Amino acid sequence: MGNSIVKEQKVYILDASAILFGFTLTEGHQVTCREVIEEVRFGGAAPYRATLIKEEARAKIVEPKEKYVKIVEKKIKEVGEIGLSEADIKLLAIALEFKDKGYQPIVVSADYSVQNLSLIFNINIEKIIHRGVSGKIRWVSYCPNCKYAGGVFKGGKCPVCGSRLKRRPGSLSFK
DSSP secondary structure string, 70-94? HHHHHHHHHHT-----HHHHHHHHH
In this prediction, residue 135 carries a pLDDT of 80
In this prediction, residue 117 carries a pLDDT of 95
Same domain, 61 and 123: yes
In this prediction, residue 45 carries a pLDDT of 53
Rounded to a whole number of angstroms, the CA Rg of the chain reads 17
Domain count, the chain: 2
Same domain, 112 and 150: no
How far is C-alpha 144 from the chain's CA centre? 28
Going 60 to 63 to 68 to 70, the CA torsion angle's sign is positive
Q: At 45, phi and psi to the nearest 5?
A: -110, 30
What is the CATH classification number for the domain harbouring 40?
A: 3.40.50.1010
> Residues with Cβ < 8 Å from 111, sequence gap 6 or more?
15, 17, 88
Contact 132/112 with Cβ under 8 angstroms? yes
What is this structure's pTM?
A: 0.81
Query: 52 lies in a domain?
Result: yes
In this prediction, residue 57 carries a pLDDT of 47
Same domain, 20 and 106: yes
Same domain, 123 and 143: no
In this prediction, residue 134 carries a pLDDT of 74
Same domain, 26 and 87: yes
In this prediction, residue 92 carries a pLDDT of 97
In this prediction, residue 38 carries a pLDDT of 80
What is the extent of the structural domain holding 42? 10-127
Low-confidence ranges of the chain (pLDDT < 70): 1-8, 26, 42-58, 132, 171-175
Give pLDDT tens digits for 14-36. Answer: 998 887 777 777 677 889 998 88
